[in-house]
Chain A
């Protein structure tokens, strides 16, 4: 075979993911009488939202308070749901959370946000808090999963990594090692390379979300440390991951 016959295989893999974000617009019931005549029926609603205290320790409670005008419905996310047009409610987020209230009225919708910052376990505090820190890590830092023979960040991995980025932003003292893992198929040697690429893909995605590169190390375990040892696709999928470990 001559050199001239060498062919290049180009595998073009086009994955287009379309996210259709559909807003939850609620129609006002036509027969509902206006409560008073003063404001114009098309007045734009307004809304405010605050948290007190705005900074809490993990396990503590903050109170969200809100007020609105020209609104008939109000909704607070995440985790609160439909609420009265004015009021307050206690929340106890386990990680720093930005709450958004959406107030809807005849004249449209308005939103407001407030952030509750959850402190990391304070430096040098009792072991009980360290325990809760590792629990927090467990709860918030999720592994990113990959397709066979691929190191591309999938949509589900983007979600997991966004949550991980949120956690890392909230706890700037946390360093992580990202371990790349592969399923049992294929060569030991190639899988060490592939696992490294997966770990780097997860790292690069977190860098794109603003996490400092110097807080993350990568290492590949190839197919040497499977999370699941059955010979099924379900199990293999469990093993194709970028796994986060808090650096010591």
Chain B
């Protein structure tokens, strides 16, 4: 009992330290990566139109650019109502003082012009430090693409990512990343993919059975997932691989029993997955072509949901009920040195996802008193932060490659949908609106 109290007290203190100065008047802890760092104020006026392009594309470009920067997590956008009357379309037109002084009080200015014809679109984007008129221009680049809605989106995403990379200390933006997920909207659970902002939702698999738990390969050219397919006359859960290059399934061995929850090693050479081929559901490793099968967990009960430390590749976190309820265990990636990740309370602890820098674990925790919520844990200090609360069931977090965003599933609208948020729980954004959607996985690039 004393030990338990000591652990709770430690976590309490740690959480209070994390919270200090950031959050007030809340009865739970809400913080995370990136907080405590003041965000750069950026003004993003609409681009001038040099040659007439379809108004719909102009609107798409501006909406997407604004949305990308608004949700990037490192910037604070200056409201357009504070912008001066004269909007520059190129560097020579910038009146620095108009933007750096009140009411705009901008630190940076992102601006430019659009041009094109019936088939092509070009965006000349610039980023200027309006507090330093003498400084060289931070970014000046022409982005080109087809004169389509998708083309306009792509140009905006590229400009946004370049701005984020510059203003976040070199950490790339995620505007061109993709989220794989499971949707029922075709009538069966199939694997779908969408842009990170919920656009361009499209069905990848057409197995017409049940497909679950998509996981992107580190090179983003394949998705491993759980598929219900016939094997020796029995429809059973197996590991399937989908090539995003050829848009078709590629072969992977079938095994007896139930097989599920594939996870990639950070070098893409191996897949860890649950298999009951020899009885108990345990975690096995195989080469990504299915060779070199090796069992790595050996405890009565279920061991599943492996997640590799993406930074080192030397550790695996997984879920096991070997001690009763399913909770998280940490082990070397060969299965040795298994260690339970103690929690300050009972309950289900499932769905581990490792942050790209290998320092934080996101997971869902069903505490004895309540719903499933998303938490993150510092893997070294074991400090915990709760990211969701009192908003339906929130499960299956997956980190974005920038380490600043998390995608997850939530029932907060009454229907299971995919949402994204910043890794401090702020800026939740609903990404799916049709059918039931679950098990999102953020592409690594």
Chain A residues in contact with chain B, CB under 8 A? 1, 3, 5-11, 149, 177, 180, 185-190, 192-197, 200, 217-220, 222, 224, 247-248
Contact = CB atoms under 8 A, between A and B. Distances in A.
Contacts of A197: 280-281, 301-302
Given A192-B226, A192-B260, A8 B234 contact: no
A9 B395 contact: no
B367 to A, nearest CB: 13
A190 B233 contact: no
Interface centre among B276, B366, B382 (most CB of A within 10 A): B276
Interface string B304-316: 1100000000000
A83 B116 CA distance: 99
Chain B contact residues, majority secondary structure? strand
Contacts of A190: 302, 304-305, 319, 321, 326, 348, 350
9 contacts: A3-B339, A186-B366, A189-B226, A190-B326, A193-B276, A196-B281, A218-B257, A218-B258, A220-B236
Nearest to B302: A193
B261 A192 contact: yes
B120 to A, nearest CB: 45
Given A9-B340, A188-B396, A192-B274, 15 more contacts: A8-B323, A11-B323, A187-B396, A189-B304, A189-B305, A190-B305, A190-B326, A192-B237, A192-B281, A193-B304, A196-B276, A196-B281, A200-B279, A219-B257, A224-B228
A43 B258 CA distance: 62
Given A5-B7, A6-B339, A219 B302 contact: no
A187 B326 contact: yes
A187 B348 contact: yes
B342 interface: yes
B339 A194 contact: no
A219 B326 contact: no
A180 B323 CA distance: 21
B350 A219 contact: no
Interface centre among A186, A200, A217 (most CB of B within 10 A): A186
Interface residues of B, number: 48
Given A177-B234, A187-B305, A192-B274, A1 B257 contact: no
Given A187-B305, A219-B258, A193 B351 contact: no
Contacts of B348: 186-187, 190
Contacts of B233: 247-248
Contacts of A8: 323, 340
B381 interface: yes
Interface centre among A7, A177, A192, A218 (most CB of B within 10 A): A192
Contacts of B276: 193, 196, 200, 218, 220
Interface string B325-360: 110000000000001101000001011000000000
Contacts of A217: 234
Contact of A187 (B226, B301, B351, B382): B351
A7 B3 contact: yes
B213 A188 contact: yes
A189 B321 contact: no
A224 B234 contact: no
B301 to A, nearest CB: 7
B350 A189 contact: yes
Contacts of A224: 189, 210, 212, 228
A-B residue pairs, 8 tightest by C-beta: A193-B302, A11-B324, A187-B350, A193-B281, A220-B258, A196-B258, A189-B261, A1-B382
A220 B280 CA distance: 12
B438 A188 contact: yes
A229 to B, nearest CB: 12
B321 A149 contact: yes
B384 to A, nearest CB: 11
Interface string B377-389: 0000110000000
A15 to B, nearest CB: 14
Interface string B405-437: 000000000000000000000000000000000
A3 B331 CA distance: 12
Nearest to A185: B366
B10 interface: yes
B235 interface: yes
Nearest to A177: B234
A149 B257 contact: no
A190 to B, nearest CB: 5
Interface string B200-231: 00000000001011000000000000101000
A197 B304 CA distance: 12
A194 B233 CA distance: 22
Contacts of A193: 258, 260, 274, 276, 281, 302-304, 321
A187 B364 contact: yes
B178 interface: no
A248 B228 CA distance: 18
B439 interface: yes
A16 to B, nearest CB: 19
A149 B349 CA distance: 13
Contacts of A200: 276, 279-280
Contacts of A177: 234
